[in-house]
Amino acid sequence: MHHNAPWLDTTIVRYNAQVFLTGGSLGHLTKKISSALKTLRQERGWSLEATSLRTGVSKAMLGQIEREESSPTIATLWKISSGFNVSFSSFLEELDTDNIDVRCSRSELTQIHPLDDKIRVMPLFPYDKNLGFELFVIELLPGCEHLSPPHQEGVIEHIVVSQGEMEVLVNGCWQPLKKNDGLRFKADKPHGYRNISTKSATFQDILHYKEH
């Protein structure tokens, strides 16, 4: 982990890392992300080159994701989401937005990428385009430090801790949070989440998007 030059180093390391998946529980996710990416490129008429310029993800990596040879890390998937100006959860789950009354217990907390081995993500309420928000349940295992690139302009995160203790990096400062503490911050800047305790921590993260 790079504690001094936080997000930059880590993002670059993760972004360059190419881990090839061999099916298993992550295979399903790899397929979903690949098809979502192909559909988006087709809809926008963006070449790999144009997509690379807008997302900051290399053409080689984008190609590997589309061919299901590689799955993006959380940081890379955020770059792709931001470049297309779509929500993060749109790559993971669909939400039937015609129906307001839904009971969501859709999936388990999932490891998105082998390199993101201490963080589990579940889109409990995937992005709703009418309401402009998505809600994740996120678990940080002990020792997890997850640094995020900036999200789209105007994205605001609301964090509520439901179990354990954690810290959130906002404006270059780690803020300690315990159970039932909440924190709201502008997420269109680099930020991060970490668990320096010896027990797992779980929080809810509501992301509100400016344009919807």
Which residues contribute to the site for Mn ion (CB under 5 A)?
A: 148, 187
Residue 205: burial class (beta carbons within 10 Å; 0-12, 13-18, 19+): buried
Number of residue whose CB is nearest Mn ion: 148
Nearer to Mn ion, 64 or 201 (CB): 201
Whether the CA torsion 19, 23, 24, 29 is positive or negative: it is positive
What SS3 class is residue 6? helix
* CB 92, min distance to Mn ion, A: 14
Nearer to Mn ion, 177 or 187 (CB): 187
Nearer to Mn ion, 161 or 187 (CB): 187
* CB 14, min distance to Mn ion, A: 14
d(CA 62, CA 103): 34
* CB 192, min distance to Mn ion, A: 8
- Say if residues 120 and 138 touch (Cβ distance below 8 Å): yes
Nearer to Mn ion, 49 or 153 (CB): 153
* CB 82, min distance to Mn ion, A: 10
196: amino acid identity, one letter: I
